[in-house]
């Protein structure tokens, strides 16, 4: 008998094994690999260790600039040291902001190497997160890596793409698989910055009740870039945000933040699980109260909060994520810790539940063909019969919504393996259809939107053990990342062709706000009635567009509510 209590994981794009282990971005982890690991790495009294001391960091940065591969750029906040990988781009790691625990971050005023890097060839440590070796992360983690084409000269006015990684807001880093931005920077003739932000409880559960610290981190990252990119050949006014999964969700939060609007010109959202919506303020209060109880620290007891080990904070976070849906069902099980519509920073739900604001930025929205593939086919490792479909739909949607779905005809359960329509349902419900609804609303209120669906992908490391994701024609969640970055190992002809196409389209979008390029099939902008979803890769349809199916305007979001409508968030 299937444990249908796990079904919410199934359609949320996460593994049924653990709510917090779901989006591990390609990491291969076992309990044995972290059992007994120290919370902090051992002290190194050599140069590497000394350079981690605050008083010596600036001196070490200057030494690094003079002793590295010789690539130096003078910025308004100091000398930036970089290294070249020989591809025609240089890499510059930097700390963009600092923050004391559970306080708002402040933008760096001096060019400083990230924690974990003792010279320009070093890479930043990740932000604290569960199920990884503690030596790989540090609480002082607000860093980014700039990838700059060597052909760019100061004040060239080139655009900047700021990439925000995914990981359900609890995992991931700027050094995740496939996120080397060198090839993307060269192909788009832009600066590519890959950033990291505070994750989980440290970014979203300040005991005082302060909300959205991680969102504010990304705002500071944009402000930092505006200050320094002219020195590398960029324009402070040509910053485009791009991200995948919860990284795209972070961008949606920034699109709903009026105070951040002037800091970026356009946005690219890949595989955003829009169905979840933002948390509302009352839900955040309930989660915060539970978290404070788990840590044993009151909202005002700073001494208690600062004395908590990272291990204790992460353990409390894991318990909170496990308990969240019983505290408030609107949290769901995939991203219970996420941006909060607090009314001060994030002022609109940016969905179908409330008046949509006037907008003017161009956005590019994409999904992959099989967003729910990893979850469905890791939960159900063998073919299942049609009775499971109805049970799964009821477990995830409730009886009323499931009944409408079953009667719609959009999901063919007569096939021999019901995992196929179940995967389609998950993809439509959590990702594709709410993305199309957002596109229609965006256009109706003054913006321009382009919608696409990947029919060719590159298997992301996290999907390597899922047979379905290895099948020809399957494009699973995260399989678009290495296509965009041009980091596919040994790409096939089809993968290489799509990488070339997407990088050309991104280059056009960064500069013109449109992904249309001479010589490529026209990509029609969305309208209020037809999103004109462009097929990316695969054997193209005659129109080059993807059929709407259940994502037609009258079904999802109308006949069948999204979760954010059900919970009014």
Residue spans of beta strands (DSSP E) within 214-361: 234-244, 266-270, 279-280, 340-341
Q: How many CB atoms lie within 10 A of CB 179?
A: 23
**Residue 428: DSSP 8-state:** I
Annotated catalytic sites, by residue?
A: 245
In whole angstroms, give the CA distance from residue 4 to residue 492: 39
Local structure of 77: helix, strand or coil:
coil
The CA-to-CA distance between both ends of the chain, in Å, stands at: 33
In whole angstroms, give the CA distance from residue 89 to residue 72: 13
In whole angstroms, give the CA distance from residue 146 to residue 156: 16
User: Are the beta carbons of 525 and 449 closer than 8 angstroms?
Assistant: yes
CA torsion sign, 482 to 486 to 487 to 492? positive
Find all residues with CB under 8 Å of 525, minimum gap 6, and list them: 443, 448, 449, 450, 514, 532
Local structure of 107: helix, strand or coil:
strand
In whole angstroms, give the CA distance from residue 506 to residue 484: 9
User: Are the beta carbons of 40 and 134 closer than 8 angstroms?
Assistant: yes
Q: How many CB atoms lie within 10 A of CB 78?
A: 19
List C-alpha distances in Å: 104 to 142, 145, 206: 12, 21, 10
Local structure of 172: helix, strand or coil:
coil
Smallest Cα–Cα separation from 216: which of 257, 174, 269, 169? 257
In whole angstroms, give the CA distance from residue 561 to residue 569: 12
**Residue 150: DSSP 8-state:** T
Find all residues with CB under 8 Å of 489, minimum gap 6, and list them: none
In whole angstroms, give the CA distance from residue 81 to residue 159: 21
Smallest Cα–Cα separation from 312: which of 328, 324, 295? 295
In whole angstroms, give the CA distance from residue 556 to residue 533: 16
Q: Can you say how many angstroms the Cα of residue 345 is from the centroid of all Cα atoms in its chain? A: 19
In whole angstroms, give the CA distance from residue 36 to residue 29: 14
User: Are the beta carbons of 563 and 275 closer than 8 angstroms?
Assistant: yes
Residue found by looking up tokens 């919860």 in the block: 246
């Amino acid at each position: 008998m299937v444990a249908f209590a796990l079904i919410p994981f199934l359609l949320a794009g996460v593994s049924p094994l653990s709510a917090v282990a779901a989006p591990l971005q390609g990491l291969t982890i076992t309990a044995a690999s972290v059992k007994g690991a120290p919370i902090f790495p051992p002290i190194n009294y050599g140069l590497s260790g000394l350079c981690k001391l605050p008083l010596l960091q600036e001196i070490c940065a200057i030494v690094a600039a003079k002793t590295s591969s010789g690539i130096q750029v003078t910025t308004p906040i100091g000398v930036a040291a970089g290294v070249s990988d020989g591809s025609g781009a240089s890499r510059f790691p930097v700390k963009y902001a600092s923050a004391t625990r559970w306080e708002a971050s402040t933008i760096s005023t001096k060019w400083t190497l990230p924690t974990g890097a003792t010279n320009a060839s070093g890479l930043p440590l990740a932000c604290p997160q569960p199920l990884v070796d503690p030596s790989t992360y540090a609480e002082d983690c607000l860093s980014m890596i700039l990838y700059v084409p060597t052909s760019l000269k100061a004040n060239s006015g080139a655009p900047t793409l700021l990439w925000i990684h995914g990981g359900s807001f609890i995992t991931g880093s700027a050094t995740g698989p496939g996120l080397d931005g060198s090839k993307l920077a060269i192909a788009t003739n832009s600066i590519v910055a890959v950033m990291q932000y505070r994750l989980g409880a440290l970014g979203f559960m300040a005991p005082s009740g302060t909300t959205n610290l991680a969102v504010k981190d990304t705002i500071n990252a944009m402000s930092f870039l505006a200050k320094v990119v002219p020195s590398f050949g960029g324009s402070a006014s040509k910053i485009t945000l791009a991200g995948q999964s919860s990284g795209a969700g972070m961008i949606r939060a920034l699109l709903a933040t009026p105070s951040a609007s002037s800091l970026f010109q356009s946005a690219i959202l890949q595989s955003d699980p829009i169905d979840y919506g933002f948390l509302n303020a009352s839900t955040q209060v309930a989660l915060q109260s539970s978290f404070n109880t788990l840590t044993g620290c009151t909202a005002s007891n700073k001494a208690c909060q600062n004395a908590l080990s990272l291990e204790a904070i992460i353990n409390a976070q894991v318990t909170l994520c496990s308990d969240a849906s019983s505290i408030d069902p609107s949290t769901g099980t995939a991203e219970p810790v996420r941006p909060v519509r607090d009314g001060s920073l994030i002022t609109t739900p940016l969905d179908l539940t409330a008046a949509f604001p006037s907008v003017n930025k161009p956005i590019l929205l994409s999904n992959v063909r099989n967003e729910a593939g990893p979850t469905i086919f890791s939960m159900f490792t063998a073919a299942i019969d049609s009775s499971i479909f109805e049970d799964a739909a009821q477990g995830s949607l409730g009886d009323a919504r499931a009944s409408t779905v079953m009667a719609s005809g959009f999901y063919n359960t007569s096939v021999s393996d019901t995992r196929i329509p179940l995967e389609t349902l998950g993809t439509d419900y959590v990702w594709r259809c709410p993305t199309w609804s957002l596109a229609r609303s965006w256009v109706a209120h003054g913006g321009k939107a382009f919608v696409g669906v990947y029919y060719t992908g590159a298997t992301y490391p996290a999907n390597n053990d899922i047979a379905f994701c290895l099948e020809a024609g399957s494009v699973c969640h995260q399989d678009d990342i290495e296509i965009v970055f041009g980091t596919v190992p040994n790409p096939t002809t089809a993968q290489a062709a799509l990488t070339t196409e997407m990088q050309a389209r991104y280059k056009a979008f960064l500069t013109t706000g449109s992904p249309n390029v001479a010589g490529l099939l026209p990509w029609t902008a969305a309208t209020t009635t037809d999103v004109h979803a462009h097929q990316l890769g695969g054997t193209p349809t005659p129109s080059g567009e993807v059929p709407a199916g259940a994502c037609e305007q009258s079904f999802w979001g109308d006949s069948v509510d999204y979760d954010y409508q059900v919970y009014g968030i």
